[in-house]
Every structure is written in C-alpha cells, then in structure tokens.
Chain A
Amino acid sequence: MSKSINRKRVVVTGMGSVNPLGMNVDALWQNMLAGKCGIVPLTSIDLTDYKVKIGAQVNRTELAAALEGIKVRPSDRAVDMALLASSQALADACIMTDEPSDIGTLFGTGVGCSESLYNANTRFAERGVRGLRPTSVPRCMANAISSQISMKFKLTGPNYVLVSACSSATSAIGTAFRMIQDGHASTILCGGSDSPFDPLVFGAWDSLGVMSKNADPTTACRPFDANRDGCILGEGAGALLMESLEHASERNAHIHAELCGYGESSDAGHMTRPSQDGQVRAIRGAVASAGIELGEIGFINAHGTATRTNDECESGSIRAAMAEHADRILIASNKSFFGHMLGASGVAESIVVIEGLKAGIVPQNLNLDDPDPACRINLVADSAEKIDAPVALKNSFGFGGGNAVLVWRRWES
C-alpha cells in the first residue's frame, strides 16, 4: 500500500510503563542502559510442581503504592498495571482527565484478566455456582482492561481490546495508527497489558515446554545465542498517547517519536510454529506503508523470544526482507532484560525503541555469548551500540500466526 498524501501523520506525545525493570519509562530505560536483568525467582505463586520457577515479575510493593497514588483499588493485575501505565502516559502528554475527552482506548492483551478468571474458577471449585460473584463477568472479560481505563480517565472515544497473543499490543498500536491516519480519531491511548503469573496460566506455559529450563534468572533468556533453550515469561503494561501531528501541534505537545508505518499478516499455517513467509509479508507491508527506503532503517527491535524456532525463523525473515541491508541493520531483542510480556511486549519494546531513537542508542542483547550461526543477522553484542539512522522497526509475532510490525521514526523538532 502506498502512503497517501491525504493521510495524517501520527506522533507519540505521552508514554507510560509498568515493567519488571521499573515503574515508569525512565526507570525502564536507565536500568536497560545499566545492563540490569529483571528476571527473578518467582515468589507470587507456589511453584513446587512446576518445571520453571523464574520470570520477570513487577515489584508488587511498588505497584501497590503507585496504585494508591492514583486512587485505584487493586482488582486484577492486568487491569491495575494498564491503569497505572495509562495514568503516566496521559500525564506525560499533559492530558487533563477531570473532564470527559473524546480520546479512544485500544489495548492489546494475550491472556487478559487471567487473575480474575483464576479467582472465579477457584471459588467455583470450592463453593459451586453460588460462589461466583456477580462481578465475575465484568472482571473476567478481556476488555475490562480498556473499559476500566476509559471509565477511570473519562475517555469517551472507541474502547476495545485486541487479542492476537504476543503481537496484541503491536496490533493495538497499529490499529490506532490507522484510525488516526485516516481521520477516524484525533487521539488514542493505546498499548498492552498482561500478567501470566497465576497458577493456571503459568502452569499451562510450563506444560507447553517452550520456556527455558535454565534455573539461573540472569542467564536463562538468551535470544539468538547458540545455547538458548526457550523464553522466560514476564508481566507488565505500557501505554502510548498517540495523536495526529496537527492535533499535537495545535496544543503545543511535546513529541517523542513518529509512528510512520504498520504492516500485518497471518501465517495461516501452524498454531505455534512461525512462518518466514508470513513474517516477511508483515515486514514488507510495514515498510511500504511508511513509504521509506530500507537505507533509512538503523535497527530492528526483534520479537526475539529465545526459543530455538522463533529466533532462527525471524533471522531468516529479517534477512529476506532487508535484502542487502541485512548486514548493516542492527538487531536486538529486549526479552533478556524483562522477559516475554506476551500481549504487552509490543508496547514495552516500542517504548525502548522510542527511547533508543531519542538517545541514538540500541541496548545490547543480554546473554549473547555465542551467536547462533543459524541466525545470520547483525546482532548487537554485549554492549549497547550508538546509531544515527532515524528509523527503526518493531517486530511482533504471535502464536496463532499473527504478525505485526511497526515503523518508528525519530522526531526531529
């Protein structure tokens, strides 16, 4: 698809982050620059019979204190973290929330309000149908995330949740981008939230067998390394306040970055095995929608889960889509810093991309001690790299075959 001159430019004017590496964007970025890993032994559930006992967990004490600060009573971790990230993004964008505004709310999630669902299941198992609270429906529905945000901050625009597994937040951001680009909305709060750390969801992932068996938290997640043996799950939320450039200019908003392209595709093949064909179509679609030359791209923030299959497939996809530029463009995954945040990973990693474009820095691939020869791409090694190129891609690929790619551009004021 070619870029139409009638389409509006879309910029980010507010960011919020709740991450295992810290409770706001600055804490996330500074801890990444310091090379800190947010993966720890999991303490929130009894893992006696589980094979995997580590994950990237948001600090519970800090989250509770931060929620009290915005007068939110904890209900479900995915909702709570999304509310906090949203509060930060709106404040960062200087959006007042004491009066209703026509801002839209689009969030992505992979497992949704799984804590509420687990609690309802537990009560049902213990007390039968009379144990089910009337709030089970509004608490368990996946769109409780966007609904609660919309109600808390009086955002009266479109309000829904997109679910596409690990590409959910990226799909939400991309969908919001198109809505603003085509004039259906001027401002949208978008992002993602996920928490897989309840006994049922984490148990299901434990059973699936795609998580690393390495018990050492700091070395278990090794994207693109020859000795990688699986992903490590994480939890968190991120929010971006996106608006048309003209709307941002009218209100003199500070601009963090421009989102200039979005591509998506479906593998239409296998439920858990990725497809190079599908990924390449999404990457090429994103580049085409942005109307950029491959030479403008400085780095790609990879999906980079550290499973054997993903990293090899994604490397091939990047090489095929970037052609002769594949040897130059820097590639890094952030999942060795804060785990795989599932449906929230796309927004957490987009925030890292935006901070990277602003600072001219691509954080390193933690634990890339021995790059896998099967991953023939230009991987950032054990220290951060400086970059000058103005454009970066964010790849997200999900179970079920959904592929989503964003094209971010540094904002030149």
Chain B
Amino acid sequence: MTRKEILVKLRHVMKQASQEHIDWNTVIEDATIESLGFDSLSMLDLIYDIQQEFDIEFEAEELVSINRVSEMVTFLEKNTSP
C-alpha cells in the first residue's frame, strides 16, 4: 500500500473507533492522536481495529505511545509492505 492509501484507510478505521464529530477526510498526517478524541483506553481499541483492518499482528505497546497520525502511517507502511 502507498502512504496515501494507508492514510485513507487509517482515517476510516479511526472514524469508526473515535465517534468524534469531525470531518475525517480533512485529517492530515500532522494531526495529534489526542486531538482526534482518543484517550488511553480508546487508543487500545483503535490498535485492535488497526490489527483487524490491516490484517497485521503486533504488540499493542508498539503503537500505544505514538503521538501523531504520521507516526502511525509510517509504522503501518513499514509493517504492511510485502
């Protein structure tokens, strides 16, 4: 997947997990995870949803301290590449 494709898919997963009333199509890579409505608990749920949607396995701790969408995209880019 390209970085852009990952971001589009990630926005969709985040929208399902967050339930925040924001325009997810406008979320940029520089956005912080906290600004998108995720706290320590819902962040864990998001990680699970990412594992399911991207069909990858990793330990929750690998993503739990990430601060920005860009870091998440980079992580997924690295872990979904063939």
Contacts and interface: CB of A to CB of B under 8 A. Distances in A.
Contacts of B42: 73, 135
Given A73-B42, A75-B41, A135 B19 contact: no
A139 interface: yes
Contacts, number: 21
B19 A134 contact: no
Nearest to A71: B37
B19 A73 contact: yes
A209 interface: no
A100 interface: no
B34 to A, nearest CB: 13
Interface string B54-69: 0000001000000000
B48 A139 contact: no
Interface in A126-141: 133-135, 138-139
Interface string B4-31: 0000000000000001000000000000
Contacts of B44: 133-135, 138
Contacts of A133: 44-45, 48
Interface string A151-169: 1000000000000000000
A75 B19 CA distance: 12
Contact of A138 (B41, B47, B48): B41
Contacts of B60: 134
Contacts of A135: 41-42, 44-45, 48
Nearest to B45: A135
A73 B19 CA distance: 8
A138 B42 CA distance: 11
Contacts of A134: 44-45, 47-48, 60
A73 B16 CA distance: 13
Interface string A50-78: 00000000000000000000000101000
A73 B46 CA distance: 14
A134 B44 CA distance: 6
A340 B45 CA distance: 33
Contacts of A151: 39-40
Contact of A139 (B19, B39, B41, B47): B41
A72 B4 CA distance: 32
Interface in A288-335: none
Nearest to A138: B41
Most buried by A among B42, B44, B47: B44
Nearest to B20: A73
A139 B41 CA distance: 8
Most buried by B among A133, A134, A139: A134
Contacts of B48: 133-135
A334 B21 CA distance: 41
A133 B49 CA distance: 9
B72 to A, nearest CB: 16
Contacts of B45: 133-135
Contacts of A75: 41
A151 B41 CA distance: 11
A151 B60 CA distance: 21
Nearest to A73: B19
Contacts of A139: 41
A348 B57 CA distance: 46
B49 to A, nearest CB: 9
A281 B11 CA distance: 60
A139 to B, nearest CB: 7
Interface in A97-156: 133-135, 138-139, 151
15 contacts: A73-B19, A73-B42, A75-B41, A133-B45, A133-B48, A134-B44, A134-B45, A134-B47, A134-B48, A134-B60, A135-B41, A135-B45, A139-B41, A151-B39, A151-B40
Given A134-B44, A138-B44, A151-B40, 15 more contacts: A73-B19, A73-B42, A75-B41, A133-B44, A133-B45, A133-B48, A134-B45, A134-B47, A134-B60, A135-B41, A135-B44, A135-B45, A135-B48, A138-B41, A139-B41
Interface of A: 73, 75, 133-135, 138-139, 151
Interface of B: 19, 39-42, 44-45, 47-48, 60
For the complex of A and B, 7 pairs with smallest distance between CB atoms: A135-B44, A134-B44, A134-B60, A133-B48, A135-B45, A134-B48, A138-B41
